[in-house]
């Protein structure tokens, strides 16, 4: 049924039914966050209403230059991406239950899976998951199902957001998560390798990790395999324009956050969970997989295959209940990768790396500022240490129109003075100069 706005009398009746006033409904909201009604006068034209709303939106105090990262990045999105994704046949399409009516949607998912396998250098991909954090959880559940074990080793340099999600999702399951503290911003190999044993289901790492450090985990994958465990690697897809792929490191499951592949930062989503694996494990993969086949007349067609969801087989044997997931976001990433091409992705990754190196040099030249982990090679993100609390400095710089990065004090013990700085192609050398000058002024 079409949505019909409630009249004032209906709203009053609903409040009377629940025995509350409008003010009581919002009593828990801090007073300084309350904005009240938008105060739009009656009788305005459509144009006047839009102008009024636009004026209110402009009152949001957003920094003009941002160096925020931590897993979510502000990359340039070619105009062709939203123009194509915004076509009605794409953004109104729903779940492809009937292949005879869903060939376009099915083919786009198949092409997405193919592109993702090439990007990760893996053999199979699903139709996507909700975000990078749930992708790690689903990968861990895959490893538990495959190995029949319940011990999972995870590097503390994996995003604390993702680790919190993993802890939450597995809280009531018979899964033991062992977190190994990083050493100097990188995986503590000695402790990780010593912890792997015959009860281990999987080892989880990230490349680049949350501190921006890059690494080659081939030796970790080899050690995991020697004990019958799987190696799970979470990656930043843009970095694969330069870095060794999960497949080259012999990862069993490769996951990641796909937001950087053509999706804007929109107040927290939607995001896109990337998931790939080896063909050996494809029947244990959650979600949907689209296959290409031919019909009785030899005509090419696309169908859902290997569906192991709760509504297709017995409930207790389902791999996951993920359903519609992020189909439109998957299409967005496919279009973005197609537009960038192999050479474009290499060029983009090179720009991000070079500008991060420039930012490290500029910031470390500011009195009192140092690179926290100078021995760790980085891609586009790095940690600096300040002579005072990072959150205090960040607030002062936001007031100057620059968001300098993410303070790490609330996430990692002993890092109150540390700031995670991310640089993308949208941060010009001039922007980086302004960041260094502003930080010098604040300090």
Digitized pLDDT (tens) for each residue of the chain, 443 residues in all: 344 455 678 888 888 899 998 888 888 888 777 666 666 777 888 888 888 888 888 777 666 899 999 999 999 999 999 999 999 888 877 777 788 888 988 999 999 999 999 999 999 999 999 999 999 999 999 999 999 999 999 999 999 999 999 999 999 999 999 999 999 999 999 999 999 999 999 999 999 999 999 999 999 999 999 999 999 999 999 999 999 999 999 999 999 999 999 999 987 778 999 999 999 999 899 888 899 999 889 999 999 887 655 555 556 677 766 655 568 999 999 999 999 999 999 999 999 999 999 999 999 999 999 999 999 999 999 999 999 999 999 999 999 999 999 999 999 999 999 999 999 999 999 999 999 999 999 99
- Provide the domain limits for residue 382: 65-77+342-442
Neighbours of 354 (CB within 10 A): 14
Residue 40 lies in a domain: no
Residue 203 and residue 87 share a domain? yes
Q: What is the pLDDT of residue 324?
A: 56
Sign of the Cα torsion 406, 412, 416, 420 reads: negative
Q: What is the CATH number of the domain that holds 173?
A: 3.40.640.10
The runs of H, that is alpha helices, within 232-299 are none
Report the distance separating Cα 293 and Cα 300, nearest Å: 6
- Does residue 146 sit in the same domain as residue 258? yes
> What pLDDT sits at residue 184?
94
Residues 324 and 362 in one domain: no
For residue 202, give every residue at least 6 positions away whose Cβ sits within 8 Å of its Cβ, in sequence order, or none: 139, 140, 143, 144, 147, 152, 153, 224, 229, 230, 231, 232, 252, 253
Residue 258 shares a structural domain with residue 405: no
For residues 259 and 384, membership in a common domain is answered with: no
Q: Does residue 91 lie in a domain region?
A: yes
pLDDT for 329: 92
Q: Is 17 within the bounds of a domain?
A: no
Within-domain flag for 244? yes
Domain finish residue from 313, 336, 359: 336
Q: How much is the pLDDT for 6?
A: 57
Assessment of whether the complete model's pTM goes beyond 0.95: no
Q: Is residue 428 part of a domain?
A: yes
Residue 55 lies in a domain: no
Buried/exposed 134-147: b ≥16 CB within 10 Å, e otherwise: bbbbbbbbbbbbbb
How many structural domains are present in the chain?
2
Tell me whether residue 23 is in a domain: no
204 and 318 both lie in a single domain: yes
CATH number, position 347: 3.90.1150.10
d(CA 374, CA 353): 15
Inter-residue long-range contacts of 404-408, CB under 8 Å, 24+ positions, other chains counted: 404/67, 404/435, 404/438, 404/439, 405/67, 405/68, 405/69, 406/68, 406/69, 406/70, 408/383
Residues 200 and 265 in one domain: yes
The token duo for 29 is 């909201």
Residues 249, 354, single domain; the answer is no
The token duo for 75 is 């990359």
The reply to whether 52 falls in a domain is: no
């Amino acid at each position: 049924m079409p949505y019909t706005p409630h009249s004032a009398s209906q709203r009053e009746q609903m409040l009377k039914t629940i025995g509350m006033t409008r003010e009581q409904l919002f009593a828990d909201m801090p007073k300084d966050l309350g904005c009240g009604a938008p105060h739009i006068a009656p009788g305005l034209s459509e144009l006047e209403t839009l102008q009024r709303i636009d004026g209110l939106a402009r009152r949001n105090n957003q920094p003009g230059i941002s160096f925020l990262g931590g897993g979510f990045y502000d990359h340039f999105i070619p105009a062709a991406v939203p123009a194509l994704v915004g076509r009605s046949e794409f953004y109104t399409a729903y779940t492809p239950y009937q292949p005879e009516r869903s060939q376009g949607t099915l083919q786009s998912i198949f092409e997405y899976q193919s592109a993702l396998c090439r990007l990760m250098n893996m053999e199979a991909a699903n139709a996507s998951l909700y975000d990078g954090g749930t992708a790690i959880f689903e990968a861990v559940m895959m490893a538990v199902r495959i190995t029949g074990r319940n011990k999972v080793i995870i590097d503390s340099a994996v995003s604390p957001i993702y680790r919190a999600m993993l802890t939450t999702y597995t809280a009531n399951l018979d899964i033991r998560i062992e977190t190994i503290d990083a050493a100097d911003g990188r995986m503590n190999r000695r402790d990780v390798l010593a912890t792997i044993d015959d009860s281990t289901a999987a080892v989880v790492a990230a490349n680049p990790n949350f501190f921006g450090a890059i690494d080659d985990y081939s030796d970790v994958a080899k050690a995991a395999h020697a004990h019958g465990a799987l190696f799970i690697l979470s990656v930043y897809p843009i970095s694969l324009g330069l870095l060794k792929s999960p497949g080259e490191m012999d990862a069993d499951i490769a996951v990641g956050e796909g937001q950087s592949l053509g999706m804007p930062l929109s107040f927290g989503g939607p995001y896109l969970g990337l998931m790939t694996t080896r063909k050996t494990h494809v029947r244990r993969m959650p979600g949907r997989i689209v296959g290409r086949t031919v019909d009785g007349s030899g005509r090419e067609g696309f169908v859902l295959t290997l569906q192991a969801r709760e509504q297709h087989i017995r409930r207790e044997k389902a791999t996951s209940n993920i359903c519609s997931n992020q189909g439109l976001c998957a299409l967005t990433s496919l279009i973005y990768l197609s537009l960038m091409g192999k050479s474009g992705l290499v060029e983009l990754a090179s720009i991000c790396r070079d500008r991060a190196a420039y930012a490290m040099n500029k910031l470390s030249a500011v009195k009192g500022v140092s690179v926290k982990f100078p021995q760790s090679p980085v891609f586009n993100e790095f940690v600096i240490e300040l002579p005072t609390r990072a959150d205090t400095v960040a607030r002062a710089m936001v007031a100057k129109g620059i968001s300098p990065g993410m303070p790490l004090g609330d996430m990692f013990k002993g890092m109150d003075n540390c700031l995670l700085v991310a640089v993308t192609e949208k941060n010009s050398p001039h922007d980086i100069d302004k960041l260094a000058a502003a930080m010098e002024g604040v300090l």
